[in-house]
């Protein structure tokens, strides 16, 4: 065996590893593919071997080859084998490879569930970490469902590293398994206030991603995020939160109002550009969401624009880019503010950086005016000449058209100029925007009557020179303009100076190389021109000309008749016949010109987009009814019609349909095709206006209604634009049948517009206009499923799936195999129970708190003035929150819900609601400043309150800042003070929670045992560990019933200086019984690194685990904390010694026990050890004594009769302890029974010292 191993190792040495592979590839540059093929063969051999190390080496090489583009999915199973290794190094290779090449469709992934689960629950955090990282890349719906619960468990891990990863991966879980969102959300929310900044940041990250898609569900978190925003110093977190707010503000304008102030403050104060930029962005979003109501509205805009200007002027191109980007967002609503910086933006057009030029182009849209349009366009044209790269050039072209045509050609004062520009643009080579230019030409020619003459002239020139354009026959290419030119010349042939020469130009044989749809238009318009020429000739009596034209037509038209394009062919045939007929008639001397012209009589007006869809269905027409009996299915054979019809371009598909109508049942695919074809047709048909027109407003002159049946109106060249200022707003709404529109609100310059733009569009009679045309748009957004209400209480059926075993009736052989799973299952169950417990407790506690505050209110004799005041505040605030909340014991879930909504409402309306602080608060003495641990009474108060909702928090703010502001108006001042107080209060709250959150469980547990009626004297389980001028450490012990050999010491480090403290290292001299767990690979002398830096005057909590052997002795350990103070003038190394005291009571876990069970236990004789003691407590109130014992010593009250009580608890190793406590004349008798004598005596000592010491 050993020999085999050695052999394996030796072989491995000679195997090619990744480095060798890379080297090999580099040495075989000329025949790389061949070399790699050889290597893959080798790898395949290696994968066949038993040895996992060899396999992992092979997989590692495959991962590299994957990067080079080789498909390695064939090795998926081997990858899983490697992932299953027990060695971290090998496992990691497997997971890396899996994360690179596995995806949803990898079927072997279903084999991995149990393996991943095992890794997730591994003792080694890096095993779990690597599994989480891998899983985040290849998680599938099945994996998400099966592992959601395990990941949830990891979210509460004691290791921040795992918590962080678990929180982050939850986002992926939600995407794949949306049902997990609601059950997991409370925990996710909890992590927003995690002690570890990394975990917090991860939670913020996840919620931001979720909220980006469905912001409204996360509105209720706004107060929490607001608090984080005002308290966090982590820029990553801040940026995410601020980004989140910009998604939330459109939903709740009041939120925006609340945000403006802190955001402006941040803008003023931050030095981080990234943060500044995001703040500006969010302020912009806020200003977009609230149109009015903010007094310093313009001030904020000014501030933003100013700061952006600084960014744009910066030499750093990145800032310049972002500045322009943000500027374009302001432009939409506050064009004036941006226009002030026109100079700067125009300057950016000349920047050497294309990205920046593009951004500046975006802004141009708002920069143009009647005065400078020509100038700007000229500049852009110059750029276009110089520009390299068609992308930028195309962008320029479309921008030129966009800025000129915007708001119905508002800024174009001279259409001749514009048409010339369009013509000039056709000289652009390789553009993709031929169609755009064409549609502009059509639009201008149709709608601006005054320009027709000029336009037609220009188009005629274009047609003359068509050979230049026709060369470029690519789709959407510049030849598209010929389409427009031909149509314009044909339709408005009366404006042509020399119709015959244009006709000749259109009949050139070169035309046949143009795309079919352009040829069709050519053919059609040839007929129009022909009619024109004939009529003119007839009028002038020029028979020669007539003959000439006829000959020309009958000579040239046949080139179209033989066209491969059906449409062209058909039209040409028709026209050719017509021409023959006409020439026959002409030979007889008949005058036929007028008749030909009649073919095209009548004005063509643009049809409104969607007009077709709007045609009302006539009464009595049932479109779903069969007209004929549907044909039998057997006749399907006929479907394969002659192939002749199916070839060729798209718009012939309609004919295909005609020919096969008999038994044709179009498939979905064909329908789609047909729809496409229709679209194309519509686009090519000049009778339709294209999509962008719908934005345009219309105007027309009522005095010129003519006799066109659709009641359209034409302008006869009004040279000024009617002043219809008051109606200008309506224009935005879109297509109404008739509307007039003046856009001349721009008072800065009143250059006379030279021509008016007609905006008539045709709509069918009786069409209904509605704006919800897009309502039927179906969207299959994967994020839809994540759109769930998160505030609703969880239903019973909403649980994360826990793996269930099928029931095995007899002890089956596979039980052994399942052992592992069984264990995890149990764990889950416990977990769940615990959760439930916790929830219950929380509810109860809330009840109790409310009651308490009430009674306090009545009695007004609380332990301290401070407490009373605070409680009163709580009560009063709670009262405001839910006006009629007088039954204190009604905390059913639905009410909680209403509470919460009330809460956000309350929070949002904060500034104007009547939350005037009670007078007591103002006169509050400086006691508030006293550190929490020094006055434990304060602490518990904090602790308790922070578990409640925001609205009902105790406030103990320091009226420190208040003095600074003795402003002008009193009212205003009060409001501001209030705000400040709010902030301070929040701040206080924040500080407390570093401690509270983790210890929540502990406190609520121990308090549950105390009688409901008792007013608790405020207590803290945190004890002072050590203190010097710079640092103060307090600690608390935590145990969990699941781990009988471990105790967690949670230490709060409180930095009392104005310097940073870093490199904190915590070390303890181990005793035989108790040892600090130092992580893998560390000897028992190594110090444990505290994973954070302490910011000035801040605190943070670190947890250290100790393994313990026996729980029957109290322990005292010496330890040291070393750290580095980093001050302005350097850093100094310091240390702080401490003594860690672990009394016996720290091994106790509060355990519930019913009174009959308790009696049974006492009677059973399982508790042989007895002990008793007598003492005189300092605090003679019996309930207080009990509460203290329950809280500090982790006991639970079983029964209380007058001045005697029975208490119960259990050690983490399962030793029960029963106590009988009696109070006689101020002295206390304690009798105890337990199974472990040392433990009992230790506990009695603890009780003595607890109750007799002054607290």
Binding positions for other proteins, 1088-1107, rule CB under 8 A? 1089, 1091
Contact flag: residue 926 with other proteins (CB under 8 A):
no
With vertex at residue 473, the alpha carbon angle to CA 470 and CA 475, rounded to the nearest 5 degrees, is: 140
Nearer to other proteins, 1012 or 1080 (CB): 1080
x/- letters, 1046..1085, toward other proteins (CB under 8 A): ---------------------------------xxx----
Please work out the total of residues on this chain that contact other proteins, with binding judged by CB under 8 A: 85
Angle between helices 18-27 and 32-48 in degrees, nearest 10: 160
Task: Report d(CA 285, CA 306) in Å as an integer.
Answer: 17
Task: Report d(CA 510, CA 854) in Å as an integer.
Answer: 96
Within residues 277-316, the interface with other proteins by CB under 8 A covers 277-278, 314, 316
x/- letters, 191..220, toward other proteins (CB under 8 A): ------xx--xx--xx-xx--x--------
Contact flag: residue 1022 with other proteins (CB under 8 A):
no
Q: Residue from 163, 165, 370, 850 that binds other proteins (CB under 8 A)?
A: 165
Q: Residue from 35, 126, 417, 600 that binds other proteins (CB under 8 A)?
A: 126
CB of 1070 to other proteins, least distance (A): 21
CB of 827 to other proteins, least distance (A): 25
CB of 99 to other proteins, least distance (A): 8
Nearer to other proteins, 536 or 1059 (CB): 1059
Q: Which stretch binds other proteins (CB under 8 A): 319-327, 723-731, 854-862, 977-985?
A: 319-327
CB pairs under 8 A, 24+ apart, for 422-429? 423/458, 423/461, 423/462, 424/381, 425/397, 425/400, 425/401, 426/462, 426/469, 426/478, 426/481, 428/384, 428/393, 428/397, 428/478, 429/472, 429/478
What backbone phi and psi angles, to 5 degrees, belong to 809?
A: -75, -45
Contact flag: residue 321 with other proteins (CB under 8 A):
yes
Cβ neighbours, 10 Å, residue 943: 24
Q: Residue from 44, 145, 243, 508 that binds other proteins (CB under 8 A)?
A: 243
Cβ neighbours, 10 Å, residue 853: 24
Nearer to other proteins, 966 or 1133 (CB): 1133
Q: Which stretch binds other proteins (CB under 8 A): 124-132, 402-410, 698-706, 770-778?
A: 124-132
Q: Which stretch binds other proteins (CB under 8 A): 32-40, 216-224, 231-239, 691-699?
A: 231-239
Task: Report d(CA 774, CA 791) in Å as an integer.
Answer: 31
Q: Residue from 47, 52, 55, 60 that binds other proteins (CB under 8 A)?
A: 60
The two tokens of residue 313 are: 């002027």
CB of 201 to other proteins, least distance (A): 8
CB of 182 to other proteins, least distance (A): 21
Q: Which stretch binds other proteins (CB under 8 A): 123-131, 376-384, 811-819, 1031-1039?
A: 123-131
Nearer to other proteins, 244 or 496 (CB): 244
Q: Which stretch binds other proteins (CB under 8 A): 126-134, 489-497, 763-771, 1052-1060?
A: 126-134
3-state SS, residue 290:
coil
Residues making up the chain, counted from first to last: 1255
Q: Which stretch binds other proteins (CB under 8 A): 64-72, 637-645, 653-661, 1110-1118?
A: 64-72
C-alpha separations of 882 from 122, 210, 877, 904 in Å: 47, 30, 9, 12
C-alpha separations of 159 from 119, 126, 1090 in Å: 15, 11, 12
CB of 1230 to other proteins, least distance (A): 48
CB of 351 to other proteins, least distance (A): 9
Alpha helices in 410-498 (DSSP H): 415-425, 434-447, 452-464, 466-470, 480-491
Q: Residue from 354, 660, 837, 990 that binds other proteins (CB under 8 A)?
A: 354
What residues contact residue 496 under an 8 Å CB cut-off, 6+ apart? 456, 460, 489, 502, 529, 532
Within residues 84-103, the interface with other proteins by CB under 8 A covers 87-89, 92-93, 96, 100, 103
Task: Report d(CA 395, CA 190) in Å as an integer.
Answer: 48
| 1023-1027 and 1031-1040 beta bridge pairing | antiparallel
3-state SS, residue 407:
helix
With vertex at residue 1226, the alpha carbon angle to CA 1222 and CA 1231, rounded to the nearest 5 degrees, is: 25
Q: Residue from 38, 104, 603, 1157 that binds other proteins (CB under 8 A)?
A: 104
Q: Which stretch binds other proteins (CB under 8 A): 274-282, 700-708, 748-756, 957-965?
A: 274-282
Contact flag: residue 63 with other proteins (CB under 8 A):
yes
CB of 200 to other proteins, least distance (A): 12
Nearer to other proteins, 9 or 501 (CB): 9
Nearer to other proteins, 691 or 1214 (CB): 691
Nearer to other proteins, 103 or 687 (CB): 103
Within residues 670-699, the interface with other proteins by CB under 8 A covers none
Q: Residue from 35, 42, 70, 1159 that binds other proteins (CB under 8 A)?
A: 70
Strand partners, 347: none
Q: Residue from 231, 355, 935, 1255 that binds other proteins (CB under 8 A)?
A: 355
Task: Report d(CA 989, CA 1167) in Å as an integer.
Answer: 45
Burial of 774-793, coded b for 16+ CB within 10 Å and e otherwise, reads eeeeeeeeeeeebebebbee
Q: Residue from 2, 50, 69, 295 that binds other proteins (CB under 8 A)?
A: 69
Q: Residue from 42, 121, 156, 161 that binds other proteins (CB under 8 A)?
A: 161
Residue pair 211/218 in contact by the 8 Å Cβ criterion: yes
CB of 337 to other proteins, least distance (A): 23
Q: Which stretch binds other proteins (CB under 8 A): 130-138, 804-812, 996-1004, 1026-1034?
A: 130-138
Within residues 517-546, the interface with other proteins by CB under 8 A covers none
x/- letters, 969..1008, toward other proteins (CB under 8 A): ----------------------------------------
Within residues 13-32, the interface with other proteins by CB under 8 A covers 13-14, 17-20, 22-23, 26
Task: Report d(CA 897, CA 597) in Å as an integer.
Answer: 76
Task: Report d(CA 841, CA 1253) in Å as an integer.
Answer: 30
CB of 353 to other proteins, least distance (A): 4
Q: Which stretch binds other proteins (CB under 8 A): 12-20, 825-833, 1160-1168, 1227-1235?
A: 12-20
C-alpha closest to that of 1061 among 1132, 1139, 990: 1132
Contact flag: residue 272 with other proteins (CB under 8 A):
yes
Nearer to other proteins, 214 or 1002 (CB): 214
Find tokens 């004297």 and name the residue.
1017
| 1196-1201 and 1099-1108 beta bridge pairing | unpaired
Residue pair 743/407 in contact by the 8 Å Cβ criterion: yes
Task: Report d(CA 136, CA 140) in Å as an integer.
Answer: 9
Q: Residue from 75, 152, 168, 260 that binds other proteins (CB under 8 A)?
A: 168
Q: Residue from 117, 163, 172, 953 that binds other proteins (CB under 8 A)?
A: 172
Q: How far apart are the first and last CA of the chain?
A: 67
Backbone conformation region of residue 202, classed left if phi is above 0, alpha if psi is from -120 to 50, else beta: alpha
Q: What is the CA radius of gyration of the chain?
A: 41
């Amino acid at each position: 065996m050993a020999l085999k191993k050695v052999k394996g190792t030796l072989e491995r040495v000679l195997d090619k590893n990744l480095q060798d592979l890379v080297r090999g590839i580099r040495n075989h540059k000329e025949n790389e593919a061949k070399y790699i093929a050889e290597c893959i063969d080798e790898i395949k051999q290696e994968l066949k071997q038993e040895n996992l190390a060899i396999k992992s080496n092979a997989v590692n090489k495959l991962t590299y080859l994957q990067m080079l583009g080789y498909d390695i999915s064939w090795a998926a199973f081997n990858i899983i084998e490697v992932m299953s290794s027990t060695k971290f190094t090998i496992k990691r290779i497997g997971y890396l490879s899996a994360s690179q090449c596995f995806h949803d469709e990898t079927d072997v992934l279903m084999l991995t569930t149990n393996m991943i689960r095992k890794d997730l629950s591994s003792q080694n955090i890096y095993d779990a970490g690597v599994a989480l990282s891998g899983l985040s890349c290849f998680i599938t719906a099945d994996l998400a469902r099966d592992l959601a619960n395990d990941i949830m468990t990891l979210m509460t891990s004691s290791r921040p590293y795992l918590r962080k990863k678990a929180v982050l991966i939850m986002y992926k879980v939600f995407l794949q398994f949306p049902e997990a969102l609601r059950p997991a959300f409370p925990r996710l929310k909890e992590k927003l206030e995690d002690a570890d900044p990394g975990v917090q940041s991860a939670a913020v990250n996840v919620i931001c991603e979720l909220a980006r898609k469905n912001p409204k569900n996360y509105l209720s978190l706004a107060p929490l995020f607001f608090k984080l925003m005002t308290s966090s110093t982590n820029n990553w977190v801040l940026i995410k939160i601020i980004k989140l707010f910009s998604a939330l503000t459109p939903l709740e304008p009041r939120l925006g109002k609340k945000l403006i102030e802190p955001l402006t403050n941040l803008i003023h104060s931050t030095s981080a550009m990234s943060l500044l930029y995001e703040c500006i962005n969010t302020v912009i979003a806020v200003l977009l969401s609230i149109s009015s109501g903010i007094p310093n509205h313009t001030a904020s805009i000014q501030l933003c624009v100013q700061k952006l200007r600084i960014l744009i002027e910066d030499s750093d191109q990145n800032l310049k880019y972002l500045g322009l980007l943000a500027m374009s967002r302001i432009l939409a609503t506050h064009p004036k503010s941006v226009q002030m910086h026109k100079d700067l933006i125009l300057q950016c057009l000349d920047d050497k950086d294309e990205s920046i030029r593009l951004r500046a182009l975006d802004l141009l849209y708002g920069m143009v005016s009647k005065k400078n349009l020509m100038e700007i366009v000229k500049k852009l044209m110059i750029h276009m000449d110089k520009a390299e790269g068609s992308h930028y050039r195309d962008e320029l072209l479309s921008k030129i058209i966009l800025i000129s045509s915007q708001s119905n050609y508002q800024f174009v004062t001279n259409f001749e100029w514009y048409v010339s520009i369009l013509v000039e643009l056709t000289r652009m080579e390789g553009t993709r925007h031929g169609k755009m230019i064409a549609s502009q030409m059509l639009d201008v020619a149709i709608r601006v009557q005054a320009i027709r003459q000029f336009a037609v002239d220009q188009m005629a020139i274009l047609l003359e020179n068509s050979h230049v354009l026709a060369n470029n026959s690519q789709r959407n290419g510049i030849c598209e303009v010929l389409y427009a030119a031909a149509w314009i010349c044909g339709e408005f042939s009366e404006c042509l100076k020399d119709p015959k020469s244009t006709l000749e130009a259109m009949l050139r044989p070169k035309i046949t190389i143009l795309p079919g749809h352009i040829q069709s238009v050519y053919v059609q318009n040839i007929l129009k021109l022909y009619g024109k020429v004939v009529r003119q000739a007839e009028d002038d009596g020029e028979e020669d000309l007539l003959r000439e034209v006829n000959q020309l037509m009958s000579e040239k038209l046949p080139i179209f008749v033989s066209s491969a394009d059906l449409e062209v062919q058909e039209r040409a045939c028709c026209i050719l016949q017509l021409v023959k007929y006409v020439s026959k008639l002409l030979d007889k001397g008949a005058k036929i010109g007028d008749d030909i012209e009649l073919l095209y009589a009548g004005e063509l007006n643009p049809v409104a987009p969607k007009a077709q869809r709007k045609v009302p269905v006539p009464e009595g027409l049932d479109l779903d009814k069969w007209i004929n009996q549907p044909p039998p299915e057997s006749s399907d054979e006929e479907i394969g019609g002659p192939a002749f019809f199916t070839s060729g371009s798209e718009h012939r598909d309609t004919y295909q349909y005609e020919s096969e109508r008999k038994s044709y049942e179009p498939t979905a695919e064909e329908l789609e095709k047909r729809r496409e074809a229709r679209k194309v047709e519509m686009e090519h048909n000049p009778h339709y206006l294209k999509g962008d027109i719908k934005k345009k407003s219309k105007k027309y002159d009522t005095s010129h209604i003519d006799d066109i049946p659709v009641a359209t109106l034409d302008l006869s060249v009004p040279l000024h634009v009617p002043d219809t200022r008051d109606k200008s707003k309506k224009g935005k709404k879109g297509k109404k049948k008739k509307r007039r529109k003046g856009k001349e609100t721009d008072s800065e310059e009143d250059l006379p517009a030279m021509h008016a733009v007609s905006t008539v569009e045709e709509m069918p009679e009786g069409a209904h206009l509605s704006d919800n045309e897009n309502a039927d748009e179906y969207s299959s957004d994967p994020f839809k499923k994540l759109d769930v209400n998160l505030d609703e209480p969880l239903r019973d059926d909403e649980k994360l799936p826990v793996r269930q075993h099928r029931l095995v009736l007899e002890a089956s052989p596979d039980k052994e195999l399942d052992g592992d799973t069984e264990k995890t299952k149990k764990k889950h169950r416990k977990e769940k129970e615990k959760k439930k417990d916790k929830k219950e407790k929380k509810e109860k506690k809330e009840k109790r708190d409310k009651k308490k505050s009430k009674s306090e209110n009545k009695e007004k004799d609380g332990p301290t003035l401070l407490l009373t005041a605070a409680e009163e505040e709580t009560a009063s605030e709670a009262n405001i929150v839910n006006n009629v909340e007088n039954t204190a014991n009604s905390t059913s879930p639905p009410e909680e819900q209403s509470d919460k909504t009330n809460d956000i409402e309350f929070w949002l309306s904060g500034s104007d609601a009547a939350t005037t602080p009670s007078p007591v608060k103002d006169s509050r003495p400086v006691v508030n400043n006293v550190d929490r641990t020094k006055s434990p009474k304060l602490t518990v108060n904090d602790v308790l309150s922070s578990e409640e909702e925001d609205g009902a928090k105790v406030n103990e703010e320091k009226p420190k800042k208040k003095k600074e502001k003795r402003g002008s108006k009193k009212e205003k001042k009060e409001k501001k003070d209030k705000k400040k107080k709010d902030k301070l209060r929040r701040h206080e709250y924040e500080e407390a929670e570093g401690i509270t959150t983790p210890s929540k469980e502990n406190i609520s547990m121990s308090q549950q045992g105390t009688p409901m009626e008792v007013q608790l004297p405020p207590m803290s389980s945190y004890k002072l560990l050590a203190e010097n001028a710079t640092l103060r450490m307090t600690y608390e012990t935590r145990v969990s019933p699941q781990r009988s050999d471990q105790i967690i010491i949670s230490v709060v480090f409180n930095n009392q200086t104005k310097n940073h403290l870093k490199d904190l290292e915590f070390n303890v001299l181990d005793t035989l019984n108790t040892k600090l767990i130092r992580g893998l690979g560390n000897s028992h002398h190594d110090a444990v690194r505290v994973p954070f830096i302490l910011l000035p005057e801040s605190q943070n909590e670190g947890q250290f685990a100790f393994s313990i052997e026996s729980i029957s002795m109290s322990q005292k350990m010496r330890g040291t904390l070393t750290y580095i103070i980093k001050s302005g003038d350097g850093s100094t190394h310091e240390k702080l010694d401490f003594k860690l005291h672990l009394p016996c009571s720290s091994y106790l876990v509060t355990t519930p026990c019913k009174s009959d069970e308790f009696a049974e236990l006492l009677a059973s004789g399982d508790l042989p050890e007895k002990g008793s003691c007598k003492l005189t407590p300092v605090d003679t109130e019996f309930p207080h004594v009990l509460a203290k014992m329950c809280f500090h010593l982790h006991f639970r009250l079983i029964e209380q009769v007058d001045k005697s009580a029975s208490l119960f608890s259990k050690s983490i190793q399962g030793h029960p302890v029963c106590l009988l406590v009696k109070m006689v004349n101020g002295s206390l008798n304690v009798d105890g029974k337990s199974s472990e004598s040392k433990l009992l005596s230790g506990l009695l000592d603890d009780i003595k010292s607890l109750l007799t010491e002054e607290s």
